[in-house]
Structure 1
């Protein structure tokens, strides 16, 4: 059985951590992982808070067949193979929240830079230093009502490197240099439009230092346009980039980490508004039991490049328990 509870001291509105004082239960999840045989595994995870799961209490529900040491097939609900940052469990992040575009898209149901969890089939595996995943999905939020798309969603991710970066962003191992580079993309045949997305990411760890870089891009093009319609203004094109680093301080009796991140985004390149912004996050993490029990403290500075200058800087503190 697996579970996670994360409580922080702030509130969320329209994808922003606001400056009002207060408390909230950020995440409360309960799940079961197991195996029927050595080749068949299953996973079930529920979101007991249901803040950004698109109205679904169910987060993950899948069955995986390990065909051989180099390949596996997974059927059910889970994350589409897109974006290293999104594929990393929220329990294993270096900051309370992912970059701004993730929360912003979730708050307005705009699944472009973050395609969310999907119902479908994923095939993956590893050969030497190369890891790969290919999947086909409904491409729409919700799991029980079927597919409302005009077609399907197709996604692919390739990743290669030297050494094992692990599943957590922090470098608990404090060992020699390791790195990985990933490429991914998807095509979603959504209602009335095709959404294309691509991304690249890189990670590096060495002696307690961890560095993560990522850039993602997405564009939605209508299937058809009425006569006289502007062929540019009816498209939606967005992008985001982030660079972050963390360092585990050289203490023998405690795991204390300093971390910083810069992120910049444009929610639609055809409009200049508050969706064009950058943010800087500085954090301190105290890992009492690695990611199973940790205290996190973040300061987030946000600056809108166009439109209104919002008062959305924030101080976030979170206690997380995962088991």
Structure 2
């Protein structure tokens, strides 16, 4: 018996020493980069990123150290990846950390592909659903929600760049630039980026478009966050993201007269013709270490918490826009919990440079609460979200919404291929109650 006990004890010690971080989350955005930004910073951070994320584990020991930022999360800040579980790279070619192993080294230059494909099917859609009001579909059928392709590069950790294109943008499916930026990243305390990148505002916006727990970011975030804009950003990260900051100057933001349509994302091909200048900033902390790229705790990690606060001011030619948000995200043993509060205002100019329908100042407020659990690590999870949205705090009408979304996600190949099924109930709190619920199935490939 003593011999058996000694053997069992020795095996337990060896197991503990051999897999200390095998199930820790993948490093990434606050985002999203989001840019995942990139839609996220993390994201981005679409990020975003992105972020998300915002918004993987490391390569084999003999491989060169990968860049500290996931390519598709263009707006995400750089952070070194966690080590992979021993043997994971050899035994599981598409296991945790596969993205880091896909980078191609050309001397000091490392390049990696960016790809995101999301196909949505809507078996059920309410008769009153309207895309201009933020609904995912107007009729039952199929939708190519996202098709994104691009390239990410890193030059000896001193310079990073990314360019990606949305190939299914707008109703006509026309291609448009999603992100295009380059930056000097020699010092983690001061990284400077220029180009089209996710504005550091809202954790969900900075998390990558493909890194959420549900098929879409919160409706409130899509309506309020400015997402990708052209400008110059500076950011810094200290003590493994125990403290981070972001600050940027951009062309002034433009938004639609319809609140739920949100901001336009312009790459300014003709320069700053009609607008002024916008500024944005964010501070964040992840005191227990990086939360990882995704909103879900896909890897059943130890307890981690992240919190952030941000704001923007845009002195545009047609409107003065301003906003602020704060967020908290928790990960613990497969459980995630997210809370965000968003506030924004818009005041029309007396002599606008472009035609607008807005004639008075409007203040908007929204609250987002989300929670979920990965039933099987890196395989199967469930999530639920509640949103309270008031587009104009001075008016009570059907624009005031309570949005309830619940869904399940199945990761077929780690986070490369996954399927998500969501049901959204949208209740108008004032005025006429509309039939705009929807059931959405999404199949996604994210690289």
TM-score (norm 1): 0.89
2:444 matched to 1:312? no
Q: Distance in 2 between matches of 1:52 and 1:214?
A: 30
Deviation larger for 287-296 or 89-98? 287-296
Quick one: which of 158, 174, 177 aligns to 2:283?
158
2:197 matched to 1:78? yes
Q: Distance in 2 between matches of 1:241 and 1:234?
A: 24
**1:236 to partner: Cα distance:** 1.4
1:157–1:183: 8 Å Cα contact kept in structure 2? yes
Q: Report the structure, 1 or 2, having the larger strand content.
A: 1
2:348–2:359: 8 Å Cα contact kept in structure 1? no
1:94–1:259: 8 Å Cα contact kept in structure 2? yes
2:140 equivalent in structure 1: 21
Deviation string for 1:35-72 (max 9, x for gaps)? Answer: 23320111001000003999870000000111313220
Q: 1:193 to 1:155 in 2, by over 3 A?
A: same
Deviation larger for 283-292 or 84-93? 283-292
Deviation larger for 232-241 or 50-59? 50-59
1:157–1:184: 8 Å Cα contact kept in structure 2? yes
2:157 equivalent in structure 1: 38
2:304 matched to 1:206? no
Deviation string for 1:142-173 (max 9, x for gaps)? Answer: 22121245531000000013222111111122
1:142 equivalent in structure 2: 266
1:177 equivalent in structure 2: 303
Where 1:309 maps in the other structure, the secondary structure is coil
Instruction: Name structure 1 gaps, 5 residues minimum.
Output: 106-112, 226-231
Q: Distance in 2 between matches of 1:192 and 1:43?
A: 31
Q: 1:18 to 1:222 in 2, by over 3 A?
A: closer
Deviation larger for 280-289 or 14-23? 14-23
**1:224 to partner: Cα distance:** 4.3
2:60 equivalent in structure 1: none
Q: Distance in 2 between matches of 1:291 and 1:265?
A: 31
1:119 equivalent in structure 2: 230
Following TM superposition, the consecutive aligned residue runs of length 4 or more in structure 1 with deviations greater than 4 angstroms are 52-56
1:89 equivalent in structure 2: 208
**1:186 to partner: Cα distance:** 0.4
Q: Distance in 2 between matches of 1:30 and 1:89?
A: 14
Instruction: Name structure 2 gaps, 5 residues minimum.
Output: 1-112, 254-264, 352-357
2:167–2:174: 8 Å Cα contact kept in structure 1? no
Deviation string for 1:266-293 (max 9, x for gaps)? Answer: 1122322221101111100001123311
Number of residues paired by the alignment? 307
Q: Distance in 1 between matches of 2:219 and 2:249?
A: 27
1:280 equivalent in structure 2: 404
1:55–1:142: 8 Å Cα contact kept in structure 2? no
